[in-house]
Structure 1
């Protein structure tokens, strides 16, 4: 078998293949495109042998641009280290693959300048649609892209961007958490969240928590953000007189990890001195103490649905924009044992 370097392969053209196979350039184009069935078996075999002999690799990007189709979908994420983002991205990529698309992922690292550069790069790649999981600070660029292609938002609203939105039913998630804690006998609840920073899903959880606690006369609630003073604030929460047994409600997996580490450092008997329920369901939740009770987000379904919304728009759907809010699943473990 002849071995070809990448440079050698890049120099081989469709015309070279046609001359080697003794066929027209149009026949080679049909062979590597969608019209292979129009060729006779004998001609197809000659072209295949010529391609193998020359090490020819068609430039699919150039072909896509010529046809106006690249079959590329862009996805812009705020923090690729976030387990939620990774899980949703897997759902999007799986759906893309099933429909013959490839996913181009750009991570902004919560940096506005990175977001601006990535939006420009995605546009240069001639993506056919874009899935956005960021704060959307570069609204003008997003609006410009939206005039050229469909956009779908995941988890985070961008107020001036009228696009389909796919995410969690946050008020329902908060209600499920509070109902479970109350049923288990907890009365003093501290919601621990990452800094809201304008993230609509976080803001929605905070507001839902405040409004729903106010409607439950047996509960007392407070809110604490993660950060350098979390250790001190948790220590004060444990020491203060409360309305009854105490529990933490962690608004995502990152908050759950920060709280678990802080409680260990404080020498707290995990899930004996304090209860804990957390949004998301990460792999390590069952491994901590007797397991962390979770409100699992259907991340695979969220990612798949985001792509499905995009695909419908690509196929010409002009119906009004919609929000798809998924319900979480309550997974009860030892961190919220009955009192």
Structure 2
């Protein structure tokens, strides 16, 4: 007997559960709640006993709904991406959906290829952390009836729900903390902001607020090829008339700057270091690195909720912007120590 012919069928599940084929189909589709709890339990037990797995692709091609959601992230190695996808998966699983996750490595061309791939899989909704500005492809998906949610980054001329961090609030909280700690000269370190609206928003807010607060400010745009020791060294050695601190725009930058601090033997606290995004290792680096933690599970859950609202017709008439507040985690890297 071939592997294909040995697979349990929907009819066999129905027979073992003592119910109809229609009821089993409803259980594995969007109408599960129409079944009584006891019948749901019988079908679940029968499916488990037989090792039955529904063919989601076939159901999607028949118009029954694939129960698949697409998630497209710009950089799967980014700690934010890993954490928020975990939140998305939790929420999707609760509602009976599975994920197809694609990574673009911040490459707009790969992004377009993945968008074509996800469309071919008959996804019922898409959450995208855009690498470029794929307006045309996303507009086409939207017009074809696929619900869309933008994660963290916006796309020009695309009027859909956006879920992410309150970037203005994050910068405000960071500067307020650093100023309260006694730092008046701040180096803002970021990855290149060209294609990421989040990076642009944070950089713009930093410049605005630094000027308003009378802070001496500098900006360091990191290169992927090599760390910029020269700029950091000059900032540490000549911070101005008051102590200096480095504010990192995201988790990748925090890691890069922490390595630079170590290689240049810069004392944490004497020169402050603070990052947006909480990373597991931040509390392990003596004396600990102060961060603004993003509520990644909440962001992931909100993204799925927005998709489901669009799918069931309960979405608001106008797209929403859900901006979540970060949580300040104070550690020793922003505790000013004397320079002996």
**TM-score band (shorter)?**
0.7 to 0.9
CA deviation after TM superposition for structure 1 residue 7, in Å: 3.7
- Displacement, 1:221? 0.7
Could you list the per-position Cα deviations for residues 103-141 of structure 1 after superposition, in whole angstroms to 9, with x for gaps in the alignment? 111111112221111111111111111101013433211
CA RMSD of aligned residues (A): 3.0
Deviations, residues 272-306 of structure 1 (Å, cap 9, x unaligned): 3x111110110000011110011111111111101
Contact 2:190 2:250 in 1 (8 A): yes
Deviation at 1:56, TM superposition (A): 6.8
Runs of 4+ aligned residues of structure 1 deviating over 3 Å after TM superposition are 12-15, 26-38, 55-58
Q: CA 1:331 to 1:5, structure 2 compared with 1: closer, same or farther past 3 Å?
A: farther
Cα separation, 2, equivalents of 1:37 and 1:186? 61
SS in 2 for 1:114: helix
The residue number in structure 2 matching 1:81 is 77
Does residue 315 (structure 1) correspond to residue 315 (structure 2)? The answer is no
CA offsets per residue over residues 208-262 of structure 1, 9 Å max, x none? 0001010112x21111012224222111111225131011001111111111111
1:225 maps to what in 2?
221
1:320 and 1:264, CA in 2 relative to 1: closer, same or farther beyond 3 A? same
Equivalences for residues 48-59 of structure 1 within 5 A: 52=50, 58-59=54-55
Q: Structure 1, unaligned stretches of length 5 or more?
A: none
Q: How many residues are paired up?
A: 322
CA distance in 1, matches of 2:279, 2:53: 42
Alpha carbons 1:136, 1:142 under 8 Å: kept: no
- Asked if 2 retains the 8 angstrom alpha-carbon contact of 1:152 and 1:164, the reply is yes
Instruction: State how far apart, in whole Å, the 1-side matches of 2:239 and 2:157 are.
Output: 45
The structure with the larger Rg is 1
* 8 Å contact kept, 2:166–2:325: yes
Corresponding residue of 1:299:
296
Q: Secondary structure at the match of 1:137?
A: coil
**C-alpha separation in 1, matches of 2:183 and 2:136:** 47
Alignment partners' CA distance in 1, 2:141 and 2:288: 45
Aligned to 1:101: 97
Judging changes above 3 Å, is the alpha-carbon distance between structure 1 residues 313 and 14 closer, same or farther for their aligned structure 2 residues?
closer
Q: Indicate the larger mover: 58-67 or 106-115.
A: 58-67
Offset at 1:9?
2.8
Distance 2:275 2:133 in 1: 29
Matched residue of 2:58: which SS? helix
What TM-score, normalized to structure 2?
0.86
- Distance in 2, Cα, partners of 1:179 & 1:110: 32
Q: Corresponding residue for 1:183?
A: 180
Counterparts of 1:210 and 1:59, CA distance in 2: 53
Is the CA contact 1:14–1:29 (under 8 Å) kept in the aligned structure 2? no
Task: Pick one of 310, 333, 336 that aligns with 1:335.
Answer: 333
**Structure 2 matches for 1:88-237, cutoff 5 A?**
88-147=84-143, 148-217=145-214, 219-227=215-223, 228-237=226-235
Look up the SS of the partner of 2:127 in the other structure: strand
Q: How far apart are 1:323 and its partner, in Å?
A: 0.4
**1:71 maps to 2:60:** no
Q: Secondary structure at the match of 2:62?
A: helix
2:241 to 240, 243, 259: 243
Q: 3-state SS of the aligned residue for 2:100?
A: strand
- Give TM-score scaled by structure 1 length: 0.86
